[in-house]
């Protein structure tokens, strides 16, 4: 089983970016934890971060043939990217939306995800554990195949 973990804009700055909101774990630490859990669950995990919407669309499109599910923190694109929503809807594999912070408890503009209706589900507010929970959800969904 192969799972793609995708990180959107500014998540490369984790550790030093607004630590009171996003915590002190770096992206590298999160990727290591997700990869280690993947190993335990029998899943090969590949991690990719980009600040660019087009690169994330390309990665999602390419993931369709290469991965069984995606764990995706789209960063601020969550709130306005119809291109990413369409890409999620276009691929046949399940995409689990994750957020470090609880987007529903923050500023008004963050409370709405334009991606959520196309995603398999959303996990929000558990810090780096959101990714680990997202991975467990992705593995469970991938195990059910495309019909699940």
Sites of contact with ligand DQA (CB under 6 A): 10, 73, 75-76, 78, 99-101, 103, 110
Residue 111: how many other CB atoms lie within 10 Å: 12
Whether residue 80 lies in the annotated active site: no
Min CB(143)–ligand DQA separation in Å: 26
Instruction: Please state, in angstroms and rounded to a whole number, the distance separating the CA atoms of residues 91 and 76.
Output: 21
Whether residue 22 lies in the annotated active site: yes
Among 7, 82, 99, 131, the active-site one is: 99
Min CB(61)–ligand DQA separation in Å: 21
Among 7, 22, 79, 104, the active-site one is: 22
Catalytic positions, written as ranges:
22, 99
């Amino acid at each position: 089983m192969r799972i793609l973990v995708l990180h959107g804009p500014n998540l490369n700055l984790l550790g030093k970016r607004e630590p009171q909101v996003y915590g002190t774990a770096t992206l590298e630490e999160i990727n290591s934890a997700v990869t280690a859990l993947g190993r335990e669950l029998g899943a090969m995990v590949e991690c990719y971060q980009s600040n660019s919407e087009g690169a994330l669309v390309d990665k999602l499109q390419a993931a369709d043939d290469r991965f069984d599910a995606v764990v995706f923190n789209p960063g601020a694109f969550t709130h306005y990217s119809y291109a990413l929503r369409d890409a999620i809807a276009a691929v046949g594999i399940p995409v689990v939306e994750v957020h470090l912070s609880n987007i529903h408890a923050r500023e008004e503009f963050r409370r709405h995800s334009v991606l959520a209706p196309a995603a398999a589900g959303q996990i929000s507010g558990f810090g780096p554990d959101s990714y680990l929970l997202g991975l467990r959800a992705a593995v469970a969904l991938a195990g059910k195949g495309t019909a699940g």
